[in-house]
Amino acid sequence: MPATPVYHYTNLATNEQIASLLPPDHPEMICLQTGTHVPETKYGLLGILAAIFWFPLGIGICLLDRRVRCTRCGLMIDEGICR
């Protein structure tokens, strides 16, 4: 039975030492090692409708109803105020 490899990483964002079973080419580990994410902003349907029907006031609601997600590891960076 082969031994399970354990990888050691340093989280550049927090300088923490981390041992993980995930390989270095795993998306979560790439984000961890570079200390950055690849943010993608998505606007919620409510915010988009508000922007259309209550223009220009709705633009403010549109900006609040957004989610920022990392396209590489899928981490939710900013969930906005509406869920």
CA distance 28 to 25: 8
* Residue (38 or 48) nearer to Zn ion, CB: 38
- Please say whether the beta carbons of 28 and 37 come within 8 A: no
The DSSP 8-state label assigned to residue 21 in this structure reads S
- Please say whether the beta carbons of 52 and 46 come within 8 A: no
Min dist CB 74 to Zn ion, Å, is 7
* Residue (18 or 75) nearer to Zn ion, CB: 75
Q: Which of 18, 26, 70, 80 binds Zn ion (CB under 5 A)?
A: 70
**Which residues of this protein are in contact with Zn ion, per CB under 5 A?**
31, 37, 70, 72-73, 75
